[in-house]
């Protein structure tokens, strides 16, 4: 991006009148929740889910600071400190990149429940990044958007993982990989239903950091080989719209074996769901929710959800489920 002239706040309305490229006053964007990893795709794969949506409005101010307000069902739980909220760092980075001499007021409508493993912080970061991109007319590429949103994840979990923000920004099934980061998104097959089962485990502070600390820093070649093969099957399965192929790859040798203890009963719930004809089952992101992918043209996703809940209860774990499907990309819903 080229260098932009600095426009001081008092000149904005005049600049707008004469058609000069200046930021909008406010932009509102919505972004969906997501499930990351899908088994073998630890930190690389994610699927946007059409269940909960975060809405983020960014508004220019002349304070030169970034402030955060939050409302919605989960707004009260969110930190307002821009360094601790996943919206803050992307907003700061893009404001700095724009070279504009102004402040930003961020208003979050927080609908994605935190702590379930459904990419809650990622949805907020994604919506804020796309809103800032639009507000400041930065014209960022998909790769740049995802990279920028991931710094919001770092503020919350300590690591700038790109999978959840990738799905919330780009929609569908997303592969976010490599250095420098590259992203690919594919529209999932229409027959795909996703059953999400959430066990009522003890709420933990810094849940994602804890789950990430359980993943070994080094892995054995044999496990890397298993995951490369399975992840390839998942990617090709999405490209071909083949749910059996996707499901065949949804087994992880890197993270899940070390995280299972966070989801009591996971192994038996997984087995029972596969026996009930789920195509594939995985821990959703850092958990504790579990996702089962189901071909809804052949099997009843609700029935599979009920079977999974029953199996959790046999393990003395209360749980609830819902059935959803893939969601689209983050989108601007208001610009003024």
Q: Is 212 in the site for ligand HSE (CB under 6 A)?
A: yes
Segment 96 to 135, residues that bind ligand HSE, using CB under 6 A? 119
Rg of the chain on CA atoms, in Å: 20
Catalytic residue among 208, 251, 256, 311: 208
What separation in angstroms does the CA of 39 have from each of 16, 73, 283, 325? 49, 30, 7, 18
Q: How many residues bind ligand HSE (CB under 6 A)?
A: 14
What element of type H or E holds 284? none
Distance CA 224, CA 326 (A): 28
* Nearest residue (CB) to ligand HSE, 5 versus 203: 203
208: buried, middle or exposed (CB in 10 Å: 19+, 13-18, 0-12)?
buried
Q: Is 153 a catalytic residue?
A: yes
Q: Is 144 in the site for ligand HSE (CB under 6 A)?
A: no
Quote the least distance from Cβ 232 to ligand HSE, whole Å: 18
Q: Which token pair is 306?
A: 């009920």
Report the SS3 class of residue 178.
Answer: coil
CB closest to ligand HSE, residue no? 285
Q: Which stretch binds ligand HSE (CB under 6 A): 35-43, 132-140, 306-314, 315-323?
A: 35-43
Quote the least distance from Cβ 287 to ligand HSE, whole Å: 8
Q: Which stretch binds ligand HSE (CB under 6 A): 9-17, 34-42, 128-136, 294-302?
A: 34-42
Quote the least distance from Cβ 169 to ligand HSE, whole Å: 15
Q: Which stretch binds ligand HSE (CB under 6 A): 69-77, 158-166, 172-180, 306-314?
A: 158-166
CB 145 within 8 A of CB 113: no
- Spatial CA neighbour of 134 closest among 31, 273, 263, 24: 24
Q: Which token pair is 52?
A: 């909960």
Distance CA 281, CA 197 (A): 11
Catalytic residue among 30, 109, 144, 153: 153
Query: Out of 22, 29, 31, 36, which residue is the one contacting ligand HSE (CB under 6 A)?
Result: 36
Segment 283 to 302, residues that bind ligand HSE, using CB under 6 A? 285-286
What separation in angstroms does the CA of 183 have from each of 163, 167, 229, 299? 9, 10, 20, 32
Q: Is 105 a catalytic residue?
A: no
Name the site residues for ligand HSE (rule: CB under 6 A): 36-37, 42-43, 119, 161, 163-164, 208, 211-212, 255, 285-286
Catalytic residue positions?
153, 208
């Amino acid at each position: 991006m080229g260098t932009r002239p600095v426009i001081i706040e008092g000149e904005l309305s005049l600049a707008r009148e004469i058609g000069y490229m200046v930021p909008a006053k406010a932009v509102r964007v919505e972004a969906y929740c997501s499930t990351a990893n899908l088994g073998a795709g630890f930190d690389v794969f994610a699927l946007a889910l059409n269940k909960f949506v975060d809405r983020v409005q960014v508004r220019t101010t002349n304070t030169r600071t970034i402030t955060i307000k939050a409302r919605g069902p989960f707004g009260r739980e969110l930190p307002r400190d821009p360094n601790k909220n996943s919206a803050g760092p992307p907003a700061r980075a893009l404001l700095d990149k724009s070279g504009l001499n102004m402040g930003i007021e961020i208003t979050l409508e927080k609908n994605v429940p935190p702590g379930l493993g459904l990419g809650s912080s990622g949805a907020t970061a994604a919506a804020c990044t796309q809103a800032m991109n639009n507000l400041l007319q930065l014209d960022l590429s998909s790769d740049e958007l995802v990279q920028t949103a991931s710094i919001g994840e770092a503020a919350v979990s300590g690591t700038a993982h790109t999978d959840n923000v990738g799905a919330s920004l780009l929609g569908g099934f997303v592969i976010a990989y490599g250095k420098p980061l590259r992203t690919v998104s594919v529209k999932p097959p229409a027959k795909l239903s996703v059953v999400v089962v959430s066990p009522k485990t003890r709420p933990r502070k810094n849940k994602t950091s804890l789950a990430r600390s359980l993943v070994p820093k080094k892995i054995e070649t044999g496990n890397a080989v298993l995951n490369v093969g399975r992840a390839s099957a998942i990617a090709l399965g999405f490209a071909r719209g083949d749910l059996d192929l996707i499901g065949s790859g949804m087994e992880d040798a890197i993270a899940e074996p070390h995280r299972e203890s966070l989801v009591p009963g996971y192994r038996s719930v997984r087995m029972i769901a596969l026996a009930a004809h789920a195509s594939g089952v995985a821990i959703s992101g850092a958990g504790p929710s579990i996702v089962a992918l189901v071909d809804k043209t052949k099997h009843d996703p609700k029935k599979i959800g009920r079977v999974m809940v029953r199996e959790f209860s046999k393990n003395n774990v209360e749980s609830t489920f819902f059935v959803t499907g893939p969601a689209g990309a983050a989108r601007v819903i208001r610009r003024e």
